[in-house]
């Protein structure tokens, strides 16, 4: 009799830790653990939160009456290491050490590797990270920034983008690796990725792509430089403007697309212009990424929470319908995507890389 495969999935966010246990890809339970931002701040760096988050994960498993000895593997969202590939990596001490490198952008997802390893290792089972936010394979040409010494790197919503691309390929009876796709993930941040040969070969990211509910996207460098050297902002404040206080919230005071659409329905002209501007910028980024595929686009997927908005998706398609066939795949299920990736590696269907 075939042994059931139980996989614990962990997705650390800035103020949450989302977990689930899947048995043969069916969820036994899911849980979102919410953290007090002030309490996290007291712990210093994100890695000062490791023991705290691990204890809470184990508490939830105990509350659910789940015996950790039944686990076959643990998989977490990958962190911010420049140069990672798409797909899965076996977690090793070397990978955990690399996640802590201060040269990498700080992000809560970088705790995922150690969380998975610390839970899996005492149980004698494998641990993985899957589809890191930087798991892209940009070409040498795409890496050129325009200024010697500064190299572009791929950073986008890799986990959901690749999962939805695979789901779309399966739905039309094709292999993901055989399709050329553009995927636009629309959440608090918005990114567009070009997929070819099963890899993400270029991206429009949160700092050079479209504005989003809480991020600026690309801003003219001359204007941005003046703002940075105005003396009104410290470095941390400027970084917060880029990701957290930019985009819709800077204009309209909300990150909720539903609230913006309510403003528009009530006759708010500024809201209507800003919302269409976001759709316009998304469409421009999709057009930009179509160049990476030389215009040979098999499908354009709109996904993420904001893809539920018929108003937003309608405006995007009206601007960019000439680029190819649009497919709406709203929402995301990153925990399921993590489990599916780990299962493929454990079943020998996919290689688990070693860092």
pLDDT tier for residue 78 given thresholds of 50, 70 and 90: confident
The predicted model scores a pTM of 0.90
- The whole-chain average pLDDT of the chain stands at 94
Predicted pLDDT of residue 106: 75
- pLDDT tens, residue by residue, 88-140: 999 999 999 999 998 887 788 899 999 999 999 999 999 999 999 888 999 99
Greater confidence, 267 or 104?
A: 267
- pLDDT tens, residue by residue, 226-244: 999 999 999 889 988 988 8
Please list the alpha-helical segments (H only) found in the chain: 37-42, 50-63, 93-99, 112-120, 140-143, 158-171, 221-228, 235-242, 248-252, 257-265, 269-290, 310-320, 334-346
In contact, 156 and 193? CB cutoff 8 Å: yes
- The lowest-confidence range among 102-106, 122-126, 197-201, 218-222 is 102-106
In contact, 25 and 9? CB cutoff 8 Å: no
Predicted pLDDT of residue 14: 81
- Whole-number Å distance between alpha carbons of 297 and 287: 11
Predicted pLDDT of residue 327: 98
In contact, 315 and 302? CB cutoff 8 Å: no
- pLDDT tens, residue by residue, 293-350: 999 999 999 999 999 999 999 999 999 999 999 999 999 889 999 999 999 999 999 9
To the nearest 10°, the Cα dihedral for 207, 212, 214, 217? 20
Predicted pLDDT of residue 103: 83
- How is residue 167 written in tokens? 């789901």
Q: Is 306 exposed, middle or buried (0-12, 13-18, 19+ CB in 10 A)?
A: buried
Predicted pLDDT of residue 40: 87
Please list the alpha-helical segments (H only) found in 202-268: 221-228, 235-242, 248-252, 257-265
Q: What is the mean pLDDT of residues 142-151?
A: 95
Classified as helix, coil or strand, 128 is strand
- How is residue 27 written in tokens? 């969820």
Predicted pLDDT of residue 76: 97
Identify the structural domains of the chain with CATH numbers, from first to last.
6-135+334-354 (3.30.420.40), 140-324 (3.30.420.40)
Q: What is the mean pLDDT of residues 258-271?
A: 98
Residue 158 has pLDDT above 70, yes or no: yes
CB proximity list for 204: less than 8 A, separation 6 or greater: 156, 191, 192, 193, 210, 285, 288, 289
Predicted pLDDT of residue 2: 61
Q: Is 122 exposed, middle or buried (0-12, 13-18, 19+ CB in 10 A)?
A: exposed
């Amino acid at each position: 009799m075939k042994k059931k495969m139980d996989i614990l999935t962990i997705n650390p966010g800035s103020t949450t830790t989302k977990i689930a246990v899947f048995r043969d890809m069916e969820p036994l339970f899911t849980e979102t653990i919410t953290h007090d931002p002030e309490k996290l701040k007291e712990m210093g760096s994100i890695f000062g939160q490791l023991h705290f988050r691990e204890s809470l994960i184990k508490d939830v498993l105990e509350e659910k009456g789940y015996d950790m000895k039944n686990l076959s593997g643990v998989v977490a969202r990958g962190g911010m290491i420049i140069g990672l590939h798409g797909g899965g990596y076996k977690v090793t001490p070397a990978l955990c050490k690399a996640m802590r490198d201060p040269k990498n952008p700080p992000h809560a997802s970088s705790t995922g590797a150690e969380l998975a390893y610390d839970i899996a290792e005492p149980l004698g089972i494998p641990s993985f990270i899957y589809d890191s936010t930087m798991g892209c394979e940009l070409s040498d040409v795409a890496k050129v920034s325009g200024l010697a010494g500064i190299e572009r790197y791929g950073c986008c919503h890799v986990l959901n983008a690749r999962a939805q691309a695979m789901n779309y390929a399966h739905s039309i009876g094709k292999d993901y690796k055989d399709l050329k796709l553009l995927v636009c993930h629309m959440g608090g941040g918005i990114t567009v990725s070009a997929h070819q040969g099963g890899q993400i070969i270029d991206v429009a990211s949160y700092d050079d792509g479209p504005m989003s509910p809480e991020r600026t996207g690309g801003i003219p460098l001359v204007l941005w430089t003046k703002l940075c050297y105005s003396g009104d902002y410290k470095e941390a404040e400027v970084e917060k403007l880029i990701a957290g206080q930019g985009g819709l919230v800077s204009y309209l005071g909300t990150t909720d697309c539903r609230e913006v659409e309510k403003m528009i329905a009530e006759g708010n002209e500024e809201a209507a212009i800003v919302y269409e501007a976001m759709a316009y910028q998304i469409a421009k980024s999709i057009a930009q990424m179509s160049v990476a595929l030389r215009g040979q686009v098999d499908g354009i997927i709109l996904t993420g929470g904001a893809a539920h908005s018929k108003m937003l998706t309608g405006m995007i398609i009206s601007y960019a319908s000439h680029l190819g066939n649009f497919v709406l795949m709203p929402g995301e299920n990153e925990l399921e995507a993590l489990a599916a990736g780990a299962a493929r590696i454990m079943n020998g269907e996919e290689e688990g890389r070693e860092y």
